């Protein structure tokens, strides 16, 4: 009898449970995509791509080596980190510079305190990549030494002197066609359990630092341009005047706020390659794109490695005009 009573009570409670469940059964919360949260945070905090290229105080991501008369004030201004190998640093470096591995750049940003950081490498390209990541992390006054140690002294100029080339000249991979209409594609998908844009961004930057600088060579892209989604960071006039890699999309300007980034290929494994004149701006763009979730790469040495003898040059051509190494002092 007791057993029967328990069964009856249980049956009577079932409808109550179901009704209660229905009353509490709101629709599951729809989470905002991690990319959207990060994108909104970047736009609202002066961390859009254009603000990484030139920060809110008008400081571009690179600064050239100083005139000899200004050397003392230049050295006093910056907390200088040299990310070259320990062996090369020991041979010669800028007075006061600290040798730091690439993976420790975020820690050094904190160690710098209130001083702006100057990142130094061989050619300026890896330093620019590091600078972009540090700016994205909150060290907005970080800058890279333009041309790297190659621009400091002729003794350390080999990395640039040995890499100016004309690998694209006269090949089917070089075109003077008009601009290709930009595509409108979807956002990258970022995996994150966080619903905090700042936390997502910092985690993405930390991962990019651990992964290191991602590059492709000019020879590889020229040999197989269809194997890459190619971005050209030239002005409209230079896109035609210099010519460009076949099927390259011109992406200047490129920002999150304007949605111009939607012209980039977000599919995982689709190699998004950006090139510029020197490989330094493309390093900054590549850092931003990798953090945003693109499979992004920088084409090393830019136009200087693709078609250095091109007659359309007016600036940023290595070894011409002001783009030559200075004879500033080195210590060891």
SS3 (DSSP) at 99: strand
Q: What is the pLDDT, as a whole number, of residue 30?
A: 75
CA-nearest of 53, 55, 97 to 74 is 97
Residue with more model confidence, 232 or 23: 232
C-beta atoms surrounding 331 within 10 Å: 9
Residue with more model confidence, 23 or 72: 72
Task: Write out pLDDT tens, residues 149-198.
Answer: 999 999 999 999 999 999 999 999 999 999 999 999 999 999 999 999 99
Q: Considering the chain, tell me which residue range(s) the CATH 3.40.250.10 domain(s) occupy.
A: 34-161, 174-306
Q: What is the pLDDT, as a whole number, of residue 305?
A: 98
Q: What is the pLDDT, as a whole number, of residue 322?
A: 86
Task: Write out pLDDT tens, residues 35-83.
Answer: 999 999 999 999 999 999 999 999 999 999 999 999 999 999 999 999 9
Q: What is the pLDDT, as a whole number, of residue 39?
A: 98
Task: Write out pLDDT tens, residues 237-270.
Answer: 999 999 999 999 999 999 999 999 999 999 999 9
Q: What is the pLDDT, as a whole number, of residue 4?
A: 40
Instruction: Find out whether 174 and 168 touch, Cβ atoms under 8 Å.
Output: yes
Contacts 24+ apart (CB under 8 A), 107-112: 108/79, 108/81, 109/134, 109/137, 109/138, 109/139, 109/142, 111/79, 112/79, 112/139
Strand runs labelled E in 121-168: 143-145
d(Cα 230, Cα 250) in Å, to the nearest integer? 9
Q: How confident is the prediction for the chain on average, in pLDDT?
A: 93
Return the bridge partners of 249, or none.
Answer: 231
Six-digit token string for 275: 């090139």
Q: Look at domain 34-161 and name its CATH class.
A: alpha beta
**Percentage with pLDDT > 70 across the chain:** 91
**Percentage with pLDDT > 90 across the chain:** 90
Q: What is the pLDDT, as a whole number, of residue 303?
A: 98
Q: What is the pLDDT, as a whole number, of residue 187?
A: 98
Task: Write out pLDDT tens, residues 103-137.
Answer: 999 999 999 999 999 999 999 999 999 999 999 99
Instruction: Find out whether 129 and 148 touch, Cβ atoms under 8 Å.
Output: no
Instruction: Find out whether 188 and 39 touch, Cβ atoms under 8 Å.
Output: no
d(Cα 123, Cα 64) in Å, to the nearest integer? 12
May I ask the CATH architecture of the domain 174-306? 3-Layer(aba) Sandwich (3.40)
Q: How much is the average pLDDT of 298-311?
A: 98
d(Cα 4, Cα 8) in Å, to the nearest integer? 6
Six-digit token string for 305: 């490695």
Q: What is the pLDDT, as a whole number, of residue 228?
A: 98
Task: Write out pLDDT tens, residues 204-236.
Answer: 999 999 999 999 999 999 999 999 999 999 999
Q: What is the pLDDT, as a whole number, of residue 12?
A: 43
């Amino acid at each position: 009898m007791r057993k029967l009573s328990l069964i009856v009570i249980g049956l009577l409670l079932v409808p109550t449970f179901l009704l209660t469940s229905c009353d509490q059964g709101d629709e599951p919360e729809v989470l905002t995509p991690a990319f959207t949260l990060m994108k909104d945070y970047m736009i609202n905090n002066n961390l859009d791509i254009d603000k990484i290229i030139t920060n809110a105080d008008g400081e571009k991501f690179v600064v050239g080596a100083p005139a000899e008369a200004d050397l003392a004030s230049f050295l006093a201004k910056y907390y200088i980190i040299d990310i070259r190998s320990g062996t090369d640093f020991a041979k010669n470096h800028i007075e006061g510079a600290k040798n730091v591995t690439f993976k420790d750049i975020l820690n050094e940003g904190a160690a710098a305190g209130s001083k702006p950081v100057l990142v130094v490498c061989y050619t300026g390209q890896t330093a620019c990549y590091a600078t972009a990541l540090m700016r994205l992390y909150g060290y907005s006054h970080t800058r890279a030494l333009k041309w790297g140690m190659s621009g400091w002294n002729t003794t350390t100029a080999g990395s640039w002197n040995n890499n100016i080339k004309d690998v694209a000249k006269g090949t089917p991979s070089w075109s003077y066609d008009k601009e290709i209409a930009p595509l409108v594609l979807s956002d990258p998908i970022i995996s994150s359990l966080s619903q905090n844009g700042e936390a997502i961004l910092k985690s993405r930057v930390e991962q990019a630092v651990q992964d290191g600088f991602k590059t492709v060579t000019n020879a590889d892209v020229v040999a197989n341009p269809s194997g890459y989604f190619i971005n050209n960071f030239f002005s409209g006039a230079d896109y035609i005047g210099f010519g460009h890699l076949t099927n390259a999309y011109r992406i200047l300007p490129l920002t999150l706020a304007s949605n111009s980034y939607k012209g980039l290929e977000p599919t995982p494994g689709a190699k998004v390659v950006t090139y510029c004149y020197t490989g330094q701006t493309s390093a900054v763009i590549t850092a931003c794109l990798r953090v945003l979730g693109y499979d992004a790469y920088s084409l090393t040495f830019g136009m200087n490695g693709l078609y250095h003898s091109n007659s359309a040059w007016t600036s940023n051509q290595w070894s011409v005009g002001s783009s030559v190494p200075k004879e500033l002092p080195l210590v060891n």
